[in-house]
Amino acid sequence: MDTADTALRGQNTTAGGRLYMAFELGEKNWKLSLGDGQRAPSRCTVAAGDTTAVLTAIANANARARCHLGADAPVYSCYEAAVNLVVDSASIEVNRRARRAKTDRLDSDKLLSMLMRYYAGERRVWAVARIPTPEQEDDRSLHRELERLRQERTVHTNRIRSLLVLHNLRVRSVGGRIWTHWWTRQRELLAPGLRAEIDRECDRLALVRQQIRLLEVQQERQVRSGAHPGMALLAQLAGIGAGSAWTLVRELFGWRQFRNRREVAGCLGLTPTPYASGTSEVELGISKAGNRRCRWLMVELAWSWLRLQPGSQLSHWFNERFAGTGKRMRRIGIVALARRLAIALWRYLEHGEIPVGAIFKPRDVNTLGA
């Protein structure tokens, strides 16, 4: 029997006349499953991006007429990643057999059945993603481009070093006056082809560094100008620089609304994942199911917080529990500190609660970077 047929047996899912629709999105086509929860779902395939065909599928006889719904019946839809719901694909139920069938049709039917259960009141059947507005998404482009450029800078410098090591030439840094002076003296020792390749790498490296400087200046200028009040508040704390404040606001605190500290930790993927069954109790570590950029950043800020905020309550908490332990326990402790620090910063921005014992940067500091 089909999953969608049995998902809500005995439940009143057609109250008010609802049509449920699940999308299985592909690069070439979309597969749709449509039903009302009482009859066998209808399925159809449309070309990817063909919204007219989607509307036709909703209005044709295989959808509303088959389900005996009126033309004004509401449509509830979902797809992986309303009223359309964007669903976290990792939260969708799967069969735990060692070998399980997986096709687009089965996936769309599963989405359809879970959509019916969701609107029948089972709100924890899956995790619904919160989608930023186009403006909020555009605000996140600057620091993401900056992240990619820094990765490209590392690629170019590593490539130049690798080419030099092949000829037993080693240099500590690539770029700057020291590099220019060294390369002017050594370049004639290399073969013409290799010399030309390194010159091209240097040209690309210079362009990337120029773009990085432009974006960093733009980022710091916007933080100073008060583009978002939360950036200036975070940048006032010792241990948090302009770039970190920018990323935390644009990725985490600027557009998301958290109701409690658990949601903050869950969004970062810093929540524990216990496994307890019978007499077996194992801690599997943090979930890592949240925003990876902010999770990495919070761990880095936790180390910076220990160094630049030694008198804070958070630093005392870490030192009492992990300072005298080994490297492994300190790594575990820094993740716990990152979770506590994220919650403290959220309370600082949301409720104005300054972290206990935290110090602010001097007023006369010319740069916001920590």
pLDDT band at residue 68 using 50, 70 and 90 as cut-offs:
low
Distance linking the first and last C-alpha atoms of the chain: 61
At residue 148, does pLDDT exceed 90? yes
At residue 24, does pLDDT exceed 90? no
At residue 82, does pLDDT exceed 90? no
More confident residue, 216 or 277: 216
Q: What's residue 61's pLDDT?
A: 45
Tell which residue, 110, 93, 120, 126, has the closest CA to residue 3.
110
Strand order through the sheet with 29-35? 42-47, 29-35, 19-25, 75-80, 84-87
pLDDT band at residue 213 using 50, 70 and 90 as cut-offs:
very high
pLDDT band at residue 145 using 50, 70 and 90 as cut-offs:
very high
CB within 8 Å of 328: residues ≥ 6 apart:
none
pLDDT band at residue 217 using 50, 70 and 90 as cut-offs:
very high
> Among 75-89, 138-152, 156-170, 243-257, whose mean pLDDT is lowest?
75-89
pLDDT band at residue 67 using 50, 70 and 90 as cut-offs:
low
Q: What digits encode the pLDDT tens for the residues 261-280?
A: 999 999 999 988 888 887 88
Q: What's residue 64's pLDDT?
A: 57
More confident residue, 226 or 336: 336
Q: How far is 171 from 179, CA to CA, in rounded Å?
A: 8
At residue 7, does pLDDT exceed 70? no
At residue 241, does pLDDT exceed 50? yes
Percent of the chain's residues with pLDDT above 90: 37
Q: How far is 181 from 99, CA to CA, in rounded Å?
A: 62
Q: What's residue 225's pLDDT?
A: 81
Most confident of 68-77, 219-228, 255-264, 297-306: 297-306
Q: What's residue 355's pLDDT?
A: 94
